[in-house]
């Protein structure tokens, strides 16, 4: 079956049961989706729903924002109706359900292909928007994303046994040493000629920030996936991921992170300038 046919068929079935609330927010009902995905009984669909919720939580998203328990009115004959339990789903929830469904079902397999194509299309659209940003705008966008992912990384590290602020500083140093060819955070700070109060991440260009974002996201995933336990193993994992990112940059012929230029303007200065312009325009 061609990608075009898969897209057309799944779009028709999936979008056909899409609903909107009074505020224009789109949603899907789990019981309707279960029928579309060819589950003979709703109880057979419930394990898939639970796996999707777990995947949502593991991705750092709020389950409540994507899976809302509701009551749905259904006809029971002779015009009578009664309320039954249902789940109101976001588009992301539907995606996770399809990804966690039984791939032996053609409708699930086609759905997985459909969502993969839709996701890639969105990525390309996002890439195009990102490419139009200035260097300062790119730095600000990646720095904000990195700040968010560092929270998830800290949580994953804590779960692995990295508990105190000193533990976390050592853990972070292992990641930097892997990515920067043995340089510690203190070494990088000195190499960039920064003051003691300056934050390293605020004095990186978009390419260097992107390398650190990849280090952070991949370390978080690996800590969770490999069920890493203990400070030493967590530190080693962070170091290994940093080395792997460095190796990838090298293989692609890229410039090593420590050799990339330090921007003259910090991200803090970019943020202050942006706030002044916003105040001026209001």
DSSP letters of 123-160? HHHHHHHHHTS-HHHHHHHHHHHHHHHHHHHHHHHHHH
Residues 169 and 274 in one domain: yes
Decide which of 5 and 175 is more confident: 175
Residues 205 and 116 in one domain: no
Residues 175 and 207 in one domain: yes
Residues 192 and 259 in one domain: yes
φ, ψ for residue 234, nearest 5 deg: -65, -45
Residues 23 and 150 in one domain: no
Alpha helix locations (H) across the chain?
3-16, 30-36, 42-58, 63-66, 91-99, 106-131, 135-160, 165-179, 185-191, 206-225, 231-251, 267-281
Binned at pLDDT 50, 70 and 90, residue 1 comes out as very low
Residue whose pair of structure tokens reads 């303007």 in the numeric block: 265
pLDDT in tens, 212-226: 998 998 899 899 888
Residues 140 and 121 in one domain: no
Residues 112 and 144 in one domain: no
Residues 212 and 260 in one domain: yes
Tokens of 181: 């060819």
Into how many domains does the chain fold?
Answer: 2
Cα(186)–Cα(210) distance, integer angstroms: 20
Cα(158)–Cα(229) distance, integer angstroms: 10
The average confidence (pLDDT) of the chain is 86
pLDDT in tens, 7-42: 455 555 677 888 888 888 889 999 999 988 889 899
In three-state secondary structure terms, 252 is: coil
Question: Residue 63: its pLDDT value, please?
Answer: 92
Tokens of 255: 């410039």
What's the domain range around 194? 134-281
Tokens of 73: 């009115």
């Amino acid at each position: 079956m061609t990608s075009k046919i898969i897209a057309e068929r799944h779009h028709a079935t999936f979008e056909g049961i899409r609903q909107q609330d009074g505020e224009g927010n789109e949603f899907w009902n789990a019981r309707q989706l279960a029928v579309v995905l060819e589950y003979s009984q709703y109880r057979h669909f419930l394990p898939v729903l639970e796996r999707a919720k777990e995947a949502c939580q593991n991705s750092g998203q709020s389950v409540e924002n994507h899976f809302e328990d509701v009551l749905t009115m259904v006809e029971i004959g002779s015009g009578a109706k009664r309320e039954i339990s249902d789940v109101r789903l976001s588009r992301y929830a539907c995606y996770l359900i399809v990804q966690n469904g039984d791939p032996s079902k053609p409708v699930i397999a086609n759905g997985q292909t459909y969502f993969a194509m839709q996701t890639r299309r969105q990525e390309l659209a996002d890439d195009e928007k990102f490419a139009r940003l200035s260097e300062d705008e790119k730095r600000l966008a990646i720095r904000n994303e990195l700040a968010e992912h560092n929270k998830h990384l800290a949580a994953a590290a804590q779960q692995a046994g990295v508990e105190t602020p000193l533990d976390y500083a050592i853990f972070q140093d292992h990641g930097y040493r892997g990515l920067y060819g043995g340089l510690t955070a203190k070494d990088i700070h000195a190499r960039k000629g920064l003051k003691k109060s300056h934050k390293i991440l605020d004095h990186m260009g978009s390419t260097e920030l992107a390398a650190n974002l990849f280090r952070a996201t991949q370390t978080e995933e690996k800590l969770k996936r490999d069920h890493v336990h203990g400070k030493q193993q967590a530190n080693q994992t962070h170091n290994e991921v940093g080395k792997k990112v460095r190796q990838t940059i090298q293989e692609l012929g890229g410039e090593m992170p420590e050799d990339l230029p330090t921007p003259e303007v910090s991200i803090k200065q970019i943020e202050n300038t942006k706030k002044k312009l916003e105040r001026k325009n209001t």
